[in-house]
Structure 1
Amino acid sequence: MASIADMINAISTGSFTFNKPEILLLIIPAIIILMLILPKSFVAIDKRRLNNPRFIKYRRGYRILLFITRSIIFALLLLALADPFGQVEKEIPGDLTLTLLIDNSTSMELFDTSFVPTLRAELEKRIPVKVSHISTPLESDIGDGMLNNLEKNKNILLISDGQATSGTNLLDVLLFAASLNSSVSATSLSPIHDDISVSIKGPSKTIAEVENFYKVKINRVMLEGTPTQSVRLLVGVDDEIVVDETTTKEEYFFSYNFSDGYHRIVARAVPTSAEHDYFPNNNVFYKTTHVIPKPKVLFVTESTSALKQVLDELYEVTQVMDLPTKKKDLEDYYAVVLNDLPKTRLKDIEELSDFVIEGNGLFVVGGYNSFDNGGYKGTAFESILPVQVGTGDIKKGDSNIVIVIDISGSFTEKGVTTTALSTSKALAYDVIGKINEKNSVGVVAFDQWPYMVADLEPLYVSKAQTLDKIERLQGQGGQTEFAAGLKGAFNLLRGKTGSKNIIFISDGFTWNDLLRQEALDVAKAMKGYGIKLYTIGTGRNLDEKFLRQLTTTGGGIYFTADTSNRLKILFGEAQKKEVGTAFSLFVIDPYHFITEDLEVDAVLYGYNQVVPKANGHLLATSDSGEPAVVVWRHGIGRVATLTVFSSGNNLGELLDRKNSKIITRIVNWAIGDPERKNDFFVDIQDARVNKSAEIVVRTKKFPKVQGLQFSKIDKNTYRAYYVNEDTGFKSVLGAVYGVNYDKEYQNLGFSEELETLVAATNGKVFDPAMVDEIVEHVKSVSRRVIRERTSFRNIFIIAALVLLVLEIVYRRVRETWFRQHL
């Protein structure tokens, strides 16, 4: 039963509320009815008393007192009917059982694990202990092993190097453990053997005559206190030695230009002594790079352009002045680039449209002769593009924006200095500060239910009140149901005119796939209603992959907490710049193929007057918000527009070596798969020994290879799986691939990330001899402080009953006194 102290605590923390607040509206009518009823007498009174002034005086005071007590009683009963509740913190004793998880994988042979029996015996003297073995010699599925042993409010001590090679991602498992209030700690490990492994990272597919960059990773495990062991590193490319160096480096970089075909790359790490190399089978690594011919690109331009020089480096470019009018003249090309062409040069657009719909690419470059300057408005060609000619409202004053804030359990964790909720409230503050006050803004919070924090109103009317309501927002600690928040926002936006947008602030974390799918379904449905979903990822349990997927489904843009300032371009009051005024580019979506990790510092002076279409994906703008790069899909093909340029009607600094990446990425994106037009190709990746790998073949005839069983997966496309029992270079159907040692032997040594990962569950990394510290830690984290939803209805009912009893006692005493004295 809830206590008054619990209710006072809930009120002080701001979690006190009513499940049926509408009942509170009955209090005033109840008081009015009492005022009308109490003056009336329903029992006959002795007339002699009515003529007694003292009786009249006492009777008036009695009725006033009765009115006050009855009003309070009715108010208390109505408060109880309104179902008051709040979040109450309670400390509960935890389960001190500690589960020892022991990693049995082969990589553990490098470490001293002789302490395990002693550690187990010492721990069993003080706390209950369970032991479980995880992983197999060549399968370090540490995450799966932990999942099989995770329980709510339990403790795990992991004896492992933390080098997972398969199974569930270790970070995801530890975040799930945190959501269960389970603590995972680990023991440090001391090496007893030295070892060296080598591996190569670099492109598996590239085009001819382009510089390709590779990284050779040398992984060392050394006895404590010994100096870094030098090794002789040999790197060969197609039987040519390109690196021969004795080094103590952990990483070595080199570059190479290739001709067409398959190329073999081998890295070998030779230790100074066999005694310093426990596993001899991980000293050689095989990698292949398949070099394909340059994709054919059609470049249509009226005049000579420096853009062609950039394109010539990566593609086989054909330059023409007019767009071909026959479909057969386009068939050999993977993409068409139109360089600042007026509509008079764009005839027979139907053939170009079919070319794109069938899976090819189109890149339209703007300038003084195209888009608004080229008569595109209202033409058939404009229907292919992701933009339309026109000017947007730079003040963005017709937007309806609902900010959705996650207040679920993962956002209101205890035991951390700053909760994700406080960070998200600060983000919401910052977002509102960037939004033009002529826009209408509402706020919704959610856990398993949506809560309307602020109704949708023009920001210039409600800004102060909205910020105050966000500041007072408290987490309820409930389950995370993203769909509930999205539905709450939809209810605010439904029926509104103007653009409709949701800014969703959450960590995106849940272990329930059904909740993820429900949110994706709601986002897809809202997109059909013209609602765009923007997400801001924040929190310790951040699931960025899901939030990006949610954003893509909702047709918006994903932002990290430190890039949310980009919202100002979308919803702020940017200062419009005239053509001829210098401006820079601003990446809006940094997670698209074209803009990921892209740095552009070009200064430009011109732009075309265009606005993105509803399904157009805005990737970059000018610093004043004018669209710069917009893309979309047309059929199964890809269309991109670049509508900013420099003086003199050229791309200016965008053609510099650093900035031209944006041009080549746009073309690469438009091209898509550079082998899709081939009648025959084999797609096969480098593999691991004794592990199943996939081979995909496109051919007009059913492929036949001894030992492989192909199945048809698409028109003229077949798939098979294969296993190799030894390392080295292999070939099938003319394709070359490398087979390497088992992944168990690659990433060796105690994981540097493990300490950070276990900290997410309030865990630590202990020396095996620190038995006392381990026991004290288990006792400390086992004491759980939980937040429970507690009803306070009984307090109000009891208070009403007590007051009623006191009133009855008072009436009895009064009647007795009246009979004796009046």
Structure 2
Amino acid sequence: MTFNFPYGFNFLHLNELVLLIPLAFLVLLGLWRKVNRRHLFIHSLVIFLLIMALAAPYSVEMNSPGTEQTRISIISDESVSMDLLEKGVSKEVADELNTKVPVTVTAISGIHTSLGDAIIQQASPENYVLVVSDGQSNSGTPVEEALSYCYKNNFPVSALIPKTVEEDLSVEIEGENEAVIDNKAFFKVNVRKSIDDRMSYRVRITVDHQKVIEKEITQAGRMESIEFNHTFETLGPHTVKATLHPASISVKNLDYFENNNQYMKSIYVTPKPKVLLVTNEPGSPLTNTLKEIYDVKIAGSFGSLNNMDAVVIDNQAASTISDMEVRALKDYIINGGGMVVVGGSSSFDYPAEDTYQNTRFEELLPVTSTPSSWRGGRNVVLMLDVSPSTLESNGIGGKVIDDILSNAIVLLESDLLKDARVDVITFGSKGQDITNGFVDMSKESNRRWLDAEIRKISPSGDSTSLERGLMTARTLLKEQGNSSEAEIIIVSDGGIGNIAERDLRFERAVQCAENLYENNGIGIHFIHIHSPKTTRQVTPKGQYYAALFMNKIGLSENYNRIEPGERIKVSFSEDSAESENREDEYSSGSIVVYDPKHFITRNISEIQYDIYGYNEVTPKPEANRLVITRLGKPIISVWRLGLGRVAAITTDNGNGNGVPWAVSLYSGNDSLIITRTLNWAVADTEMSGGIQLKVPDLKMSQPGRILITTGKAGTPELYFDKKPMEITSIGNNMYESYVTADTFGLHKISETPLEANLTEELMSETSGVKNASWRPAAVNRPDEYTYVGENTLFRTAVLENGGKIYTEGDVYSRIIEDASTSTKKKILTRVFYTKHFLALAFLIYLVYTLHHTYNTRIK
């Protein structure tokens, strides 16, 4: 085990230092017995040095070992999607470079691209990897993960992206594969284009072989989307199909591939789920919304829950729900039922004498009926500097990195961030996301996990590039949308200046920060850990780069310079006048999506209208906040309880007592958030035989995962195109199976071996069969034909992971020098001092012995 001591000095074996205790005892005993002090001091010093040598003292140094020879490995992407790009680039580059350095070429081909796997296989410290590809990868290790792995291990990876020379269109349909009868099902048709030139085409959308949309489109960008909805009026299997017309236009040299000009989605339409609505207001907007979607049974009190897919409890006081009913609800939910509790003047925290607080019913809910002090809705990116300069001594017995990490932990433990969603990234020569997304700090388990992850951070990279860190932060915050406040906190030693005269990384960082603050409203704070030994900390005019950086973006008040050992407190709060203005701007009813990744809130960018009231609640640690007011008050919270799902909608049913709180949530586009919540809570509809299936869109020659749930004991027996499916248990009554099809069209999953591969015409004839015991599975062309042209995210991923992007014009002049430089990576090495302590002990003892012998015998 390694132990850390002050002043950058470390010992490998701390246990050996225990010998210092008896040494100290012997010294005290010698002083008490009045032993010759010179003799006692010399022998004690020698023994002390020997004990130190036994403990294996060492220090950590940064070294740059070089390799004797540069080797370039070219990954040549020759998969199908590369047919659209300029051909022969890999061979041309390899032939040219082979005359100067050793070059190996590894080709990947076929209808599946495992680009990430190829990168990991070729990467090594001595191997400079050049990826010649469009960046499209559809199997194996994701490219982002592969590049991140290479960066962490100091494996250089760069890219050359050939020019896209062929025009191609592809079409794809997004949407759920299940729908409820007589309800709107929402779909999105995406048309992708390989290059940015303008192109006209006709798109046709059909449902069960009947045309619903046909329009002419002139597309200039890389992707065009068409959103539409359809109401299915019959049960059973259906199809939605999108076709680019004419289906084959390659003869006009307008479209390269033909097989990606059509896409088919299979839909299974289920009966309206049965919902029990417990309410005293049967004419409320909530009731009307439920009736449109479900088979609703309205009651003023609880009855039997048998055969019910979900129960909705609307504005019911705690006193009206007996302990027997709570036990029945708990059994129902744990065994897979769904429950939605809607607020109002008689639920959660109302009335004061009859709230849900500390009741058995509250145990089932994702919230407690206590006011929330949470002022959430803030996304915080914590940027930690891990460049080599942070290994410098901080002058008080540690290193600068210790102060950076300590300040980060203090921030996480402060009340400031206890309700925020935090993402921690490190930056040296690139920005690295160490939390893999935002973490909800209201959960104590998340806080402890993040604390442990921060303590593991160690310096990496070979330089400091604040711009790379800011680019990574921008990408992370962009994914969260604009509904929440966003802040970036930079903790750094301030070594962010330019290295040489023509280096512009500081100016680029300023430009990036200005864009984040001025155009996106993202607040930026800079915590500067002052270290006199840090290079690139001070400008030639004597000004700190960190202070200059914050001054240039107009946020000098957010700059904090602290000395080693000090801890910072950052405040996001405004003065009282600003706070009042904020309260006015964000009225109590201004609500936003807090978690955009959940099924309920996915693709809902904003909620247009305000609500006028809500119940005061606090989400439990295990619950998920989905929708909140801009002041942080929870409106929709959910959690899983056993096999079931529970949602709390803490505003009213749109009718209210006197003044309605939430009329707008039950009409127009805003009503989608309510229907999504109800759909999430409803149990999955079964096939005959009590089997529930989750069937995705399948791709030709690619295994597709089918999820199976059954209420019966034993493994179910199912068939895919008349062939028995291999089914594996993955949990209590839960199973999975992987199926593969090689032909385009509709296929069957059934409980008996039915005929396989229906045509769309036959499909339309069999649609609407009530209680059909089979499910449709649409099989489309492989993903290789869906994402066409250059993947623009590939460039960003390479740059953010310390790589470089070459062009065909500059690759020959730059790559050899870059490869030679990149193979000389800075690494941390231990320098042991055992022999130095032994030599010093021997020398002292020898000199003293000679001196003593001379004085006592020779003289």
Shift of 1:612: 5.9
Cα distance change, pair 661–416 in 1 and its aligned pair in 2 (3 A): farther
1:166-190: per-residue Cα shift (whole Å, max 9, x none)?
2221222222222332112222313
Equivalent in the alignment of 1:551: none
Shift of 1:796: 2.8
Shift of 1:360: 0.9
Answering whether residue 721 of structure 2 is matched by residue 687 of structure 1, we say: no
Shift of 1:217: 1.6
SS in 1 for 2:253: helix
Q: Which residues of 2 match residues 627-646 of structure 1 at below 5 A?
A: 629-643=636-650
Equivalent in the alignment of 2:785: 745
Alignment gaps of 5+ in structure 2: 376-381, 393-399, 419-423, 436-443, 457-468, 477-485, 490-521, 525-568, 577-586, 747-758, 767-772
Equivalent in the alignment of 1:800: 841
Cα distance change, pair 670–116 in 1 and its aligned pair in 2 (3 A): closer
Distance 1:323 1:386 in 2: 21
Cα distance change, pair 370–187 in 1 and its aligned pair in 2 (3 A): closer
Cα distance change, pair 622–798 in 1 and its aligned pair in 2 (3 A): farther
1:756-794: per-residue Cα shift (whole Å, max 9, x none)?
222344322223453231111110100121102333333
Equivalent in the alignment of 2:233: 260
Cα distance change, pair 259–779 in 1 and its aligned pair in 2 (3 A): same
Answering whether residue 106 of structure 2 is matched by residue 164 of structure 1, we say: no
CA RMSD of aligned residues (A): 5.2
> Is the contact made by 2:705 and 2:738 (CA closer than 8 Å) also made in structure 1?
yes
Distance 1:799 1:717 in 2: 69
SS in 2 for 1:655: helix
Distance 2:155 2:23 in 1: 51
Shift of 1:682: 6.8
Shift of 1:319: 2.5
Equivalent in the alignment of 1:494: none
Shift of 1:239: 2.6
Answering whether residue 194 of structure 2 is matched by residue 229 of structure 1, we say: no
Cα distance change, pair 215–281 in 1 and its aligned pair in 2 (3 A): closer
Cα distance change, pair 308–790 in 1 and its aligned pair in 2 (3 A): farther
SS in 1 for 2:329: helix
Shift of 1:235: 3.6
Distance 2:50 2:734 in 1: 76
SS in 1 for 2:843: helix
Aligned counterpart in structure 2 of residue 789 of structure 1, from 823, 830, 837: 830
Shift of 1:257: 2.5
Judge which range, 614-623 or 655-664, deviates more.
614-623
Distance 1:25 1:107 in 2: 66
Distance 2:427 2:199 in 1: 55
Shift of 1:102: 1.9
Shift of 1:158: 1.8
Answering whether residue 665 of structure 2 is matched by residue 655 of structure 1, we say: yes
Cα distance change, pair 751–147 in 1 and its aligned pair in 2 (3 A): same
1:682-722: per-residue Cα shift (whole Å, max 9, x none)?
76443334545567889999667864224666889996845
One-letter amino acid of the structure 2 residue matched with residue 280 of structure 1: E
SS in 2 for 1:663: helix
> Is the contact made by 2:333 and 2:645 (CA closer than 8 Å) also made in structure 1?
yes
Distance 1:422 1:203 in 2: 49
Aligned counterpart in structure 1 of residue 189 of structure 2, from 215, 228, 236: 215
* Percentage of matched positions with identical amino acids: 24
Cα distance change, pair 231–309 in 1 and its aligned pair in 2 (3 A): same
Cα distance change, pair 334–661 in 1 and its aligned pair in 2 (3 A): same
One-letter amino acid of the structure 2 residue matched with residue 746 of structure 1: T
Answering whether residue 294 of structure 2 is matched by residue 323 of structure 1, we say: no
* TM-score (normalizing by structure 2): 0.64
Alignment gaps of 5+ in structure 1: 1-9, 43-62, 397-404, 438-444, 446-472, 483-497, 511-537, 546-558, 576-580
Shift of 1:361: 0.9
> Is the contact made by 1:387 and 1:612 (CA closer than 8 Å) also made in structure 2?
yes
SS in 1 for 2:188: strand
> Is the contact made by 1:406 and 1:505 (CA closer than 8 Å) also made in structure 2?
no
Distance 2:213 2:48 in 1: 88
> Is the contact made by 2:205 and 2:242 (CA closer than 8 Å) also made in structure 1?
yes
Shift of 1:28: 8.0
One-letter amino acid of the structure 1 residue matched with residue 252 of structure 2: A
Cα distance change, pair 790–619 in 1 and its aligned pair in 2 (3 A): farther
Distance 1:156 1:88 in 2: 28
Distance 1:30 1:779 in 2: 53
Cα distance change, pair 189–505 in 1 and its aligned pair in 2 (3 A): farther
Equivalent in the alignment of 1:353: 330
Distance 2:455 2:202 in 1: 46
* TM-score (normalizing by structure 1): 0.67
SS in 2 for 1:121: helix
Equivalenced residue count is: 662
> Is the contact made by 1:195 and 1:278 (CA closer than 8 Å) also made in structure 2?
yes
Q: Which residues of 2 match residues 405-424 of structure 1 at below 5 A?
A: 412=386
Distance 2:227 2:629 in 1: 37
Equivalent in the alignment of 2:30: 37
> Is the contact made by 1:406 and 1:421 (CA closer than 8 Å) also made in structure 2?
no
One-letter amino acid of the structure 2 residue matched with residue 243 of structure 1: E
> Is the contact made by 1:198 and 1:269 (CA closer than 8 Å) also made in structure 2?
no
> Is the contact made by 1:199 and 1:267 (CA closer than 8 Å) also made in structure 2?
no
Cα distance change, pair 631–761 in 1 and its aligned pair in 2 (3 A): closer
SS in 2 for 1:756: helix
Cα distance change, pair 319–678 in 1 and its aligned pair in 2 (3 A): farther
Shift of 1:64: 6.0
Distance 1:72 1:406 in 2: 47
Equivalent in the alignment of 1:455: none
Equivalent in the alignment of 2:317: 342
Distance 2:631 2:705 in 1: 48
> Is the contact made by 1:234 and 1:243 (CA closer than 8 Å) also made in structure 2?
yes
> Is the contact made by 1:219 and 1:746 (CA closer than 8 Å) also made in structure 2?
no
One-letter amino acid of the structure 2 residue matched with residue 37 of structure 1: G
> Is the contact made by 1:182 and 1:761 (CA closer than 8 Å) also made in structure 2?
no
Distance 1:290 1:189 in 2: 43
Cα distance change, pair 30–428 in 1 and its aligned pair in 2 (3 A): same
Equivalent in the alignment of 2:214: 243
One-letter amino acid of the structure 1 residue matched with residue 257 of structure 2: F
Q: Which residues of 2 match residues 473-484 of structure 1 at below 5 A?
A: none
SS in 2 for 1:190: coil
Q: Which residues of 2 match residues 587-602 of structure 1 at below 5 A?
A: 592-594=598-600, 599=606, 602=610
Q: Which residues of 2 match residues 299-698 of structure 1 at below 5 A?
A: 299-303=277-281, 304-324=283-303, 327=304, 330-347=305-322, 348-349=324-325, 350-371=327-348, 373=351, 374=354, 376=356, 380-387=360-367, 412=386, 427-434=408-415, 502-505=448-451, 582=588, 592-594=598-600, 599=606, 602=610, 605=613, 607=615, 629-643=636-650, 648=658, 651-652=661-662, 655=665, 657=668, 660-675=671-686, 684-693=695-704
> Is the contact made by 2:611 and 2:661 (CA closer than 8 Å) also made in structure 1?
no
Distance 2:627 2:168 in 1: 48
> Is the contact made by 1:215 and 1:252 (CA closer than 8 Å) also made in structure 2?
yes
Cα distance change, pair 214–596 in 1 and its aligned pair in 2 (3 A): closer
Shift of 1:420: 10
One-letter amino acid of the structure 1 residue matched with residue 662 of structure 2: G
Q: Which residues of 2 match residues 103-182 of structure 1 at below 5 A?
A: 103-135=77-109, 137-182=110-155
> Is the contact made by 1:185 and 1:765 (CA closer than 8 Å) also made in structure 2?
yes
Equivalent in the alignment of 2:534: none
1:450-497: per-residue Cα shift (whole Å, max 9, x none)?
xxxxxxxxxxxxxxxxxxxxxxx999xxxx999xxxxxxxxxxxxxxx
Equivalent in the alignment of 1:204: 177
SS in 1 for 2:228: strand
Judge which range, 778-787 or 25-34, deviates more.
25-34
Aligned counterpart in structure 2 of residue 766 of structure 1, from 806, 819, 833: 806
Distance 1:145 1:21 in 2: 44
Judge which range, 803-812 or 623-632, deviates more.
623-632
Equivalent in the alignment of 1:453: none
